[in-house]
Amino acid sequence: MKSKTCSKCGEEKPISQFEARKDSRDGYRQYCRDCKKSQTRKAWQKWADKGNLKYWNRRARSLNSKGSRRNGIAGEIISNSKPLTGLELMELYEKSPLCLYCELELTPTKVVFDHKQLLSRKGEHSIGNLSVTCIDCNQLKKARTDGEFRKFLSSYLARFTLIPR
């Protein structure tokens, strides 16, 4: 078999565009890779928007995974901490779905969880040290602690004399 028609988009595509699937009649999925991907994304978005615990569990898993922090002090702290749970994240978000700094209202997928005291500076990997932030504030905060960032913000914003007050 060289090609197959996707039962979702109706396009005929090369067989390499279909994932193998043992339990299907022809050995391939009915949906092409693109359709499969967009289906997964949609389902994911739906869970997230509904505030489904499954969504927060996945966020917790990624927060608990050391990833690139494997070798440094941050990785060590994560290894020695009780893993964060999806329920904790969900409760933190529901208590206040606003960015801690600019108070922008955030949908679940827009939330960036921030360690107020950085792990690299011996902050705890615990829900008490976590805040809900938007991506802009989070990027601006960078390697600053919560306290340092607040100081930085007030002096930084004061420099913008063009903003009418």
Tell me how many helices (H) and strands (E) the chain has: 6, 4
**Would you say 43 or 73 has its CB closer to Zn ion?**
43
CB of residue 9 to Zn ion, shortest distance in Å: 3
* Listed residue (109, 84, 106) closest to 96, CA to CA: 106
d(CA 30, CA 14) in angstroms, rounded, equals: 13
Residue 9 within binding range of Zn ion, rule CB under 5 A: yes
Provide the mask over 10-29, with x wherever binding to Zn ion is found by CB under 5 A and - wherever it is not: --------------------
Q: Based on the shown chain and the rule CB under 5 A, indicate whether residue 6 belongs to the binding site for Zn ion.
A: yes
Residues in 78-137 at the binding interface with Zn ion, rule: CB under 5 A: 99, 101-102, 134, 137
- Shortest Å distance, C-beta 55 to Zn ion: 21
Are 18 and 11 in contact by the 8 Å Cβ rule? The answer is no
Rounded Cα–Cα distance for residues 70 and 135 (Å): 23
Q: Which residues pair with 113 in a beta bridge?
A: 132
Would you count residue 56 as binding Zn ion (CB under 5 A)?
no
Task: Catalog residues that contact Zn ion under the rule CB under 5 A.
Answer: 6, 8-9, 32, 35, 99, 101-102, 134, 137
